Structure 1
Amino acid sequence: MPLSWPMDDPSTISCPSGLYVVATPIGNLEDITLRAINILANVDLIAAEDTRHTSRLLARYFIQTPLISYHEHNEQQRAGQLIDKILAGSAVALVSDAGTPSVSDPGYRLVCAAIENDLDIFPIPGVSAAVTALSASGLPTDTFVFVGFVPKKKGKRMDVLRSLIDEPRTLVFYESPRRVMALLEDIHVLMGDRPTVLAREMTKLHEEFIRGRLTDVQAALKDRPEIKGECTLLIGAAPSTRSLSDSELDVVIRQALSTPGARVSSVSKALARQHGLPRKIIYEMALEIEKNTDTPTND
């Protein structure tokens, strides 16, 4: 075993019948627990999201346990087969390509099926990309919202983001490198220039954390020919609002209306959301300001 400290003799490890939900590394293959290695070496079968990917991890630790595929395209059919094996007395381990199974990865249906059949479920904890990114982000970690992957279609994605605009906790997203720029743009449009951290290639050779305002992250990425590696994106909480005086609100509205192409309707909607004020009040003030402005806005 390629480790520098002693481990339990695998021949003495016993895995009772049940489902073992095993966390695996998100990049660096050394980020696996001793318990996970022993479990994977001694269960009867390993259900893997990608058997080729998991084979490399097993080879690293000289594990020869049989593999079977279990992914989003076959999980409904495969879940029944795996439950039958456990009911017959087998110990089955569930792993995803990286991190903890069933957290934005296949596994939820299998866990639910095991519960419905009153089978034992053994969580084997380990790495999670969300917690790994949070720990080094510099954003508040005492409370957060794990969003995971948002919908690929823009309309549905925007609906999800709108529901999070006023969320007072750190937001954690997963996104592919191909779609992360689109996600950043949508968040910027709806939530503004918030504190942002993009974690990429975590635990790997080219690990990168980009920290700053959302526009800073966009600027750091926009000139790259391509973005590589799965991304974990963290967005700061919605800013706390306080009531503006009439004079302060007047200044804010005038500044917004002075932006080229600004419209009373869009300005009113954005400021109402930002400051937690009724849109009607801002709209009426904006109209009054527009009437007394030499250069009216387009509305």
Structure 2
Amino acid sequence: MPDWLAVIVRSLLFIVVLFLVAKWFGKKQISQLSFFEYVIGIAIGSIGAAVVIGLEPSLFLGVLSILTISVIPFLASFISLKSKSFRNIFEGKGTVLIKDGKIMEDNLKKERYTTDELLKGLRKNQVFQVADVEFAVLEATGDLSVLLKKENQPLTAKDLHFSIAPIKESQTVIMDGKVLNEPLSTAGRSRLWLQIELEKIGVLLENVFLGQVDTYGQLTVDLYDDKLQVPPPQEKPLLLATMKKCQADLELFALGTENKEAKKMYHVNSEKLQEAIDKVEYLLKE
């Protein structure tokens, strides 16, 4: 076999082997490599390169070497599940860099982490004042986790004692001009509904690059032609307008009747509907 063909065959073989090894490791190892896994990756790459260019003449020994080295982090991960002390050595552990708004200088030196790097990590977390930070930890992966002091954290619905309905996952129901039946069914919609919604905004199915149904059951589309303007969904504004009209009608009914009991009923229900409008208006205006 010519040398150039041997290199091509070896390269293709090792791409397959490395792909299978990566799949075996799983998503966690691919997304966040520990120091040990990083070293293992370098070793596997070096062996693969040596076999591909012929420095190691035996394909079998090269593959065997890669598989042997690949087993080591797998076994280490298994042991780390059983032993926290081993896990701290194998995966590392976080280091506190800021506590109660104060920088832990000794820990900075221990991690060889400069003040500029700390400030940069804070800025990535949208924090610009060290005094605003309750707790900051340098994770074993090198990421900086930041917890703001309570008074500096954004207000949430829980802080305001609001009850918020859970947000459902948006479903992509159209892709490349084709309807995706499974997401459409998951969203609780039919092809007929989808066709009606497209007709409302004057869009043909084949002109839609991407269509999604949001948590409120509204259809939003992105067209192939970016110059075309698509009107925003109208379900929520229409619902808000209908509620306000009903509330106004109840007030009119209360003013238009001479019956005291009917007047009181209309007035009470008008107030209840107004309270409901006040609670949901900010949601329906989004």
Q: What's the TM-score, normalizing by structure 1? A: 0.22
Structure number with greater Rg is 2
Q: What's the TM-score, normalizing by structure 2? A: 0.23
Is the helix fraction higher in 1 or 2?
2
Higher relative contact order (CA 8 A, sep 6+): 1
